[in-house]
Amino acid sequence: MLKNQRGGAAVEFAIVLPLLALILFGTIDFALLFYNKQVLTNASREGARAAIIANNWDSKDSNGFPTGNATEPVNIIKFYCLNHLVNLGGDNNLKNDPTIVDAGNFIIATVTYDYDHLFSSIIGISKTTLTGKTVMRQEWDDS
């Protein structure tokens, strides 16, 4: 090895290291984003499953159709998100809106979450809004 080539590998490594770190941490960040998206989808599905059963609503009208708030399905969604979302120091901004669409007797459970990227302040990426949405047909007890 020639004397004037000493330290060349260290210089090359120093040049390549930031790129490798960017690829690694970018992969981790987007893996967490996709994981949290799946958690929101699962949470909305669990909330919708609880909401399609008429007994989980606060009150019923004269025909047995649920009215009022679906407090139990909302709590199921919140509990699922609190136990499964990966939140690395950001705010846990959940919005839970289980609603009844009268036209087709479907329940729509929607969960929205603002995902904070790991290095958003360094690379200038703002929060990404993730939404999990599930639509299920309601089960009514007509008796």
Domain assignment present for 45: yes
Phi-psi region of 104 (alpha: psi -120 to 50; beta: other; left: phi over 0): alpha
Question: What pTM value is reported for the model?
Answer: 0.76
Q: How does pLDDT run across 48-103, given as a tens digit for each residue?
A: 888 887 555 556 665 555 555 567 788 888 888 888 888 776 666 676 555 554 44
Mean pLDDT lowest for which of 20-29, 56-65, 109-118?
Answer: 56-65
Nearest to 47 by CA among 134, 140, 138, 113: 134
In a domain, 143, yes or no: no
What rounded mean pLDDT belongs to the chain? 78
Pairing of strands 59-60, 94-96: unpaired
Lowest mean pLDDT among 56-70, 108-122, 129-143: 56-70
Q: Which domain holds residue 88?
A: 7-137
> What confidence score (pLDDT) does residue 138 get?
75
- Residue 14 in any domain: the answer is yes
Distances (CA, A) of 3 to 12, 14, 54, 130, 138: 17, 20, 82, 56, 79
**CA 109 to CA 47: how far, in whole Å?**
6
Residue 28 lies in a domain: yes
Name the domain count of the chain. 1
The pLDDT assigned to 116 comes to: 84
